Amino acid sequence: MLRKITKKINAIISSFIPQHVLAQNELLRKAKILVSIHFLIIFIGIVLALTTTFVEGSNPLPAIIGALGCVVALFIFKRWGNFSISGNFIASLPVGVLIFEVAKTGGIYSDNMLWLYTGALLAFLFTDRIWGVLWSIATMSFHIYLYTLALSDPSQYQSSAGIDPTYIFVSYIFLFLFILGMIYVFKSGQDRFIKELRAQRNMLMQQKAEIQFQADTLRKQESKLKKMNEDLSQFASIVSHDLREPLRTIGSFTQLISKKLKECNNHGADEYLYFVSDGVKRMQNMISCVLEDIRNEDKDKRLIRLDDIMPVVINNLSTTIREKNASISYSELPEVMGYSTAYIQLFQNLISNSIKFQKPETLPKIEITTSGLNGSYYIKVSDNGIGIPKEKLHNIFERGNRADIDEAYKGHGIGLATCKDIVHRLGGDINVDSELDKGTVFTIKLPRAA
């Protein structure tokens, strides 16, 4: 029953608090206390008005005005949630009533003087620091004024004090209860603040535990990745060794065939044997570079001269270039950080694509240029090929995507995805711009070498 009554009272009090104040936990308790004091003053005003109405010689008008003023202040607070207006009104009530009572009950000797300071206390509680200071200055000024009056005529207030012991006792008991209530308000707020801090601390500890768990998981994954890299390096060493053996065999037999043909004065096959030997050497060199890059994967990147990379790329693609009569031009390519095989694979994929996706009866023309801006190099690989539809450019680097290119052009849509992976691994980015039947431009952004 008591819980229901308390819940109902709390609902009534909350109905006089604006929504924007209800949403702020740090202001909600303060607002509830302020509204409760309004209701208390209205109740006291009504009781006093009814009491004084039936007491001869008493004037109920001040109590009625005080209660009505409190009702107006309450609705102002409900409408705007302004603590200053309502707080100052609450502070003005004890000051407005007691300032006259002090003069009647002994001036500076009056116990009402102590109650007069409750106005400043209420202003500090419900308005802000500036209003609290102003009310304190006003009350202290009045107190000083009474002090000067007492000094000028000591007998004036002492003779009219008429102090009753019971009145003094009750007054000071209520004053004690008032101060105790204020302390309780502060203590309750402090306890709530501490409770919120503890809740936040528990939440932070929980988050810390989650972060620690994630860090442990990352460490385990890092350890697994390191082991995988070690296994990959070992696997690459084994594979490279196994690949070199047949290459050595091919090279040896090619030399033997060349020697036999020379003995038979058959020089027509020399050119073909040269291509076989050259292909074997290139394959052996690529295996060595791949193995070296895998071993250096966990180490710092090294400085690579792209001008030294391009001849290797052109040499690897020499057969295709010769068959298609392709033209490749480049000049003054920069020095960048990375791995030689990565750049060889990158440019080899881009150039081979430019040669492959070419218009019939058109000689492939590929141009590689470089520019620098804001600490980066921009390397453009331009061609005069068939181009790519504009609507297909956004996902051209996705693995397996061929951009609806004619089936006459063979491919699996893996080359450009590999290029993107390589450039990102090197700390750069790659973009494409293209126009159908006019050609394509790939722009590679790479960081400058430190």
d(CA 388, CA 336): 29
What is the pLDDT at residue 413? 59
What is the pLDDT at residue 161? 47
What is the pLDDT at residue 160? 47
Whole-number Cα distances in Å, 402 to 346, 380, 406, 409: 18, 21, 9, 10
Q: Note the CATH number of domain 303-447.
A: 3.30.565.10
The closest of 228, 376, 229, 221 to 293, measured between CA atoms, is: 229
What is the Cα 372 distance to its own chain's centre? Answer: 32
Structure tokens at 209: 């535990």
Using CB atoms within 10 Å of the CB of residue 385, give its burial: 0 to 12 exposed, 13 to 18 middle, 19+ buried.
buried
pLDDT along the chain (450 residues), means of 10: 83 86 75 86 85 74 81 86 85 82 75 77 79 84 80 62 52 63 64 71 87 89 81 66 66 72 65 69 66 56 87 85 89 87 87 85 90 87 87 76 52 72 88 87 87
What contacts 276, CB < 8 A, 6 or more positions away? Answer: 250, 254
- DSSP secondary structure, 135-187, as one string: HHHHHHHHHHHHHHHHHH-HHHHHHT----HHHHHHHHHHHHHHHHHHHHHHH
Beta partners for residue 366, in sequence order: 328
Residue ranges, CATH 3.30.565.10, the chain: 303-447
